[in-house]
Structure 1
Amino acid sequence: MAIVRETMVYDGPGGPFEGVVAYDDEVETARPGVLVVPNVLGQKESDNVVAERLAALGYVAFACDVFGQGRRKTRESADMAEYMNEMLADRAQLRDRLAAGLAVLTGMSRVAPGKVAAIGYCFGGLCVLDLARSGQDVLGVVSFHGVYGRPDYANVQPIRARVLVAHGWDDPLGPPDAVVGLAAELTEAAADWQLHAYGHAGHAFTDVGTKGSGRPGFGYEESADRRSWQAMKDFLAELFV
């Protein structure tokens, strides 16, 4: 096995954009693809590592970009949420940027036609839910400690993509009423959905860089990280049968 990374610069609304694809170059047959959507900071090394982990599982993974080439934040940025807030103010453009990244993945010869899923973290968790809501060509989506507010456009009916929500129960960005609201929304849209809620875990529970943050309801939680990754593996394996 030899996992390869390639940087991809691609066009889209407000672009150009820059992401990273990872795959095992020793596998010659087409295989399922997984879109990876970053958190509030934008496309970065930790997303590329996730793509490599997915490639090691046998997928072609594309860590996409929704903010634009060179538009990145760090935890030390004065306005860490600037680019995310731009997208939250224009969910239609966010939808179209996600579609552009998805088109890059589905256009790869290494990706099996019709076998694509998406996963996302925090803001990326909202993004993959929007992929499902807007009827994009994905079989399923996994939202890790996402944000659940609905976009200002109508959901497709029914939502065809299967949905897995991995949620930290102590997450202040996803309080119980928001979680119940999401469940009601997905049920109304006739989606095949499941929710895994992890006790004593909050927002960003998969992000090792937030370990020991000291912020109530925020930070890495090893057991939730491990269990949610396993849940994702099982979900994808069922999805791509």
Structure 2
Amino acid sequence: MFRLLALMIMALSLGTAHAGANVVSEEVTYTDNGFEMRGYLAYDAAVDGPRPGVLVIHEWWGHNEHARAQARRLAALGYTALAVDMYGEGRLADHPDDARAFATLVRSNMQLMTKRFDAARKFLEAHERTDAGQTAAIGYCFGGSVVLEMARAGEDLAAVASFHGALATQNPAQEGQVNARVLVLHGNEDPMVPAEQVENFKQEMEAAGVDYHFVGYDGATHSFTNPQADEKARQFGMPVGYHAEADQASWEELERFLAETFGG
């Protein structure tokens, strides 16, 4: 009964988008040891006082409109959201080879990944609209793998959520090390994240005692939340595709997850 009441109260303030939402968004810059990072901040100006902050980590294409759109959606729910730049200088890839190179540079260097994530987090938590004690991170594809790695590393986050992200790791979670609640939203037809990888991830989380929730969507493949995925599939012959039902269902799952995390 208490949990239901808490969720109902949270829905009024952070749940479905406010009727009076006044989303403000702006391009911002922050630095990682002097290296310029170009982010995108969004919040609801109609909400008084600091709110929980959410970092949004982009797909392997880079800091694009997809990440920015998710930041605005989070702002409409009452959060302060920062679409992060993990590549630096707002780099974007037009071809999978470039995207793979950008993503590999970060994924293969845990120190670099952590520094860039922490630079974004520091910027978000210092903002007047953010409650620095309440921070979550969500990520898409490449970004999903990043937020999971940050959780495994013991970052002081309330929650992380991965949308169609890779689940394999060279740094498996250790018991007592993961502070964040973990949500994984996965396309069951995703050839880039096969069933064996899913099963290994679940075993990893359970062995480490992580508070995690895994949801798989039948019929959904890689990049199922991005409306531009079908175009990329045609252009480059990639096994990706948009799935409207999984996109909507996964977003609703995220809404519930964040409300439970910050409203209980």
Matched, 1:157 2:176: yes
Structure-1 residue corresponding to 2:138: 119
Unaligned runs of 5+ in 1: none
Alpha-carbon distance change, 83 to 231 in structure 1, aligned in 2, over 3 angstroms: same
Work out the percentage of aligned pairs sharing the same amino acid: 37
Shifted more, 156-165 versus 99-108: the winner is 156-165
Shifted more, 173-182 versus 9-18: the winner is 9-18
> 204, 229, 233: which one pairs with 2:255?
233
The one-letter amino acid paired with 2:134 is K
Q: SS where residue 32 of structure 1 aligns?
A: strand
1:107-149 CA distance string (max 9 Å, x none) = 1121113211111000000011012111112100110000112
Unaligned runs of 5+ in 2: 1-20
Q: SS where residue 16 of structure 1 aligns?
A: strand
> 99, 105, 118: which one pairs with 1:99?
118
> 53, 66, 82: which one pairs with 1:33?
53
Deviation at 1:230, TM superposition (A): 0.5
Structure-2 residue corresponding to 1:135: 154
Structure-1 residue corresponding to 2:92: 72
> 61, 81, 85: which one pairs with 1:61?
81
Q: SS where residue 80 of structure 1 aligns?
A: helix
Q: Write 1 or 2 for the structure with the bigger share of helix.
A: 2
What do you get for the CA RMSD once the two structures are aligned?
Answer: 1.8
Q: SS where residue 62 of structure 2 aligns?
A: coil
Q: Which has the larger radius of gyration?
A: 2
Segments ≥4 residues shifted beyond 4 Å? 152-156, 214-217
Distance between the aligned counterparts of 1:216 and 1:187, measured in 2?
32
Distance between the aligned counterparts of 1:235 and 1:164, measured in 2?
8
1:131-182 CA distance string (max 9 Å, x none) = 2111112100110000112144875733120000000011111101101111
> 179, 184, 204: which one pairs with 1:185?
204
Deviation at 1:14, TM superposition (A): 7.2
- What is the TM-score normalised by the length of structure 1? 0.93
Structure-1 residue corresponding to 2:13: none
The one-letter amino acid paired with 1:229 is W
Distance between the aligned counterparts of 2:173 and 2:182, measured in 1?
17
Distance between the aligned counterparts of 2:74 and 2:218, measured in 1?
26
Distance between the aligned counterparts of 2:127 and 2:85, measured in 1?
17
> 24, 30, 45: which one pairs with 1:4?
24
Is the Cα contact below 8 Å between 2:175 and 2:207 reproduced in 1? no
Deviation at 1:50, TM superposition (A): 1.0
Q: SS where residue 68 of structure 1 aligns?
A: coil
Deviation at 1:98, TM superposition (A): 0.9
1:35-63 CA distance string (max 9 Å, x none) = 00001011112211111111001100000
Distance between the aligned counterparts of 2:134 and 2:77, measured in 1?
15
Residues matched between the structures, number: 240
